[in-house]
Amino acid sequence: MKNVRLIALLFAGLLGSTTAFAAGAKSYQVTGPVIDVSDTMITVQKGKEAWQIDRTKDTKVTGEPKVGAKVTIMYRMTADSIEAKGGGKDAKADAKADAKAEAKAPAAAKADAKADAKAPAMAPAAAPAKK
């Protein structure tokens, strides 16, 4: 019986987490007096900044926003376009590996130079005798 409850609880948690992902982007709000309003955009004063937010035919409007009226706008950030310029995680990992290898190369060269300096000087090899 305990197992059934545990499974039901896990299933409910899983169902809740998948609906959270399906909900979309995080919702934000801005509140302030209306500076300008049109059918396609509303501008609200927030501190010293003017926030311009686009409106569509699907935007739910309660009341009539007029210049000077205080409004609260709920909005989501949505990308209009995305341009990828890098190779992603693999490219970053490759770049890190390259950087590490380059950092190790001077250290290895210094170690070789130290070893050469400590090694006794060797006489040049004798040329073979001519017959």
Whether 81 is covered by a domain: the verdict is no
- Work out the angle at residue 129's Cα, subtended by the Cα atoms of residues 123 and 131, and round it to the nearest 5 degrees: 175
Reported pTM: 0.48
Q: How many domains does the chain have?
A: 2
Whether 124 is covered by a domain: the verdict is no
What is the C-alpha separation between 45 and 50, in angstroms, rounded? Answer: 5
Whether 10 is covered by a domain: the verdict is no
Portion of the chain with pLDDT greater than 70, in percent: 56
- Of the given ranges (8-12, 17-21, 39-43), which has the lowest mean pLDDT? 17-21
Same domain, 91 and 68: no
Nearest to 33 by CA among 75, 74, 73, 67: 67
**Placement of tokens 């007029």 in the chain:** 66
Domain that holds residue 112: 86-117
Residue 16 amino acid letter: G
Confidence band of 97 (pLDDT split at 50, 70, 90): confident
89 contacts: CB under 8 Å, gap ≥ 6 = none
Q: What is the pLDDT of residues 109-131, one digit of tens each?
A: 666 656 555 555 555 555 556 65
Same domain, 39 and 67: yes
